[in-house]
Structure 1
């Protein structure tokens, strides 16, 4: 039996904000009745929607925030005016403080990555965050990263991605030793750019 999870939710994130986010949270609650929510957003927009979903409202702690990150904001802009007070930052901070187990935002990806790095910090020796997704394969599902947080990577960064991806696979797939692979132009070790070949050598040695 899975343990209850508390989700910090940036209600203002995405192209349509609370109009999509709140019904999405209600759908999550249908699938995970043990879920709890900490929602951050503008009360004038969020509370009327929560009233339409009484079951969701009953398991939600709501925090009013007047500042929200726009989808076209540059990460530096979002950090400048949204740090400590935007719905995105406060949702991330809820995970940092332990009020929530996880943060979900459909908002500006660049701002989300920048705020997460500033608020949560990185693990020792991990320089850059990554965006991960699940890809279906003939054997099931795989964790694939990075899918958008950065352009280009050296060998060390590719190894970091492998370590983070393996850790995620251990948690969500309950695997003791996940298989790690490099996406390359071919299976032969002599193929690919130097960074990929060097990362492959390091991973084999590890």
Structure 2
């Protein structure tokens, strides 16, 4: 990477609306962000959706003739070495790219990242961190894990808490992030065996600014900057939050008056409605950062359209610019993984 200019590999074939929407998002990023884009996938399909590619000197097409479909298992990673997600990860491994974006098979993306890039020092399991809005304007909370690890051990959640702390501190600009453990009550005696054991680990780790348990109602309150949970609970939470955002926007659309009054009201509230959409629409966040692997990897929603892909590229650039990998590595000796890296 030359100077502050990042090179982002984008899996052009991954997602429900690939490659057209993926390409649209990449084109916007190439215009508005200081990045070079490597579109990875079938050259003919990409070019068919991208007729004026010669106009963009900072976009390059990288051939990948295979795809791992949503219904296929992660075992296809080995059977399809030329799959777009494999080729994209290889670009990072070979230092031809600084980050990978994929809206395709999330299991395949996680598997490829772990197999090809490896884990960072002190990390047993990578985690997907998702950023949620809160009731406090311009304040977000990062929740992890939201899907990479369905079954977790206490040590994994301790590692998630440290990675979330680092991300909140260096990317979100929170000097002393407030870390919480998602639980069914505020008291330290509440929860299942995993929550009880994790609470003790977090309490005793001086590197993690742990302030106690977070109940479901606390997630969006702004009280916490980082909330940790296992990937099963986190993924349910993520999908529920996405649905709530869509429902709120749909209800607002339906409840606005019809005819000229509705048009007038929409015009008057236009800036407010735009801000509301930015705060609650999951597309505005782009996806989740896979923390714990030795490379920047953003896993976007399978239903991502151009705005979400643009925001995923923006998120990747922020992680690169703030040296998230280096920061996590610098704390690696604070954690003792349960299994050798």
Q: Name the counterpart of 1:38.
A: 38
**Deviation at residue 96 of structure 1 after TM alignment:** 2.2
Pairs within 5 Å for 1:147-162: 147-162=146-161
What is the RMSD of the two structures over their aligned residues, measured on CA atoms? 1.8
Pairs within 5 Å for 1:95-106: 95-106=92-103
Pairs within 5 Å for 1:5-16: 5-16=6-17
Q: Name the counterpart of 2:112.
A: 115
Moved over 6 A (4+): none
Any idea what SS the aligned residue of 1:181 has? strand
**Deviation at residue 17 of structure 1 after TM alignment:** 1.7
Any idea what SS the aligned residue of 1:17 has? coil
Cα 1:53–1:187 change in 2 (3 A) is farther
Distance 1:88 1:22 in 2: 15
**Structure with higher RCO (Cα < 8 A, 6+ apart):** 2
Any idea what SS the aligned residue of 1:12 has? coil
Any idea what SS the aligned residue of 1:103 has? strand
Q: Name the counterpart of 2:90.
A: 93
Contact 1:73 1:111 in 2 (8 A): no
Contact 1:158 1:196 in 2 (8 A): no
Distance 1:204 1:93 in 2: 39
Pairs within 5 Å for 1:185-200: 185-200=184-199
Distance 1:130 1:174 in 2: 21
Pairs within 5 Å for 1:35-74: 35-52=35-52, 55=55, 57-74=56-73
**Deviation at residue 54 of structure 1 after TM alignment:** 5.3
Segments of structure 2 that go 5 or more residues without pairing to the other structure are: 206-341
Please give the per-residue CA displacement for 1:82-127, whole angstroms capped at 9, x wherever unaligned.
23x2211111122222212211010001111111110111113322
Number of residue pairs aligned between Structure 1 and Structure 2: 201
Q: Name the counterpart of 2:77.
A: 79
**Deviation at residue 11 of structure 1 after TM alignment:** 0.6
Segments of structure 1 that go 5 or more residues without pairing to the other structure are: none
Distance 2:125 2:105 in 1: 18
Distance 2:124 2:169 in 1: 22
TM-score (norm 1): 0.89
TM-score (norm 2): 0.56
Query: Which has the higher mean CA deviation after the structures are superposed, 132-141 or 103-112?
Result: 132-141
Contact 2:110 2:148 in 1 (8 A): yes
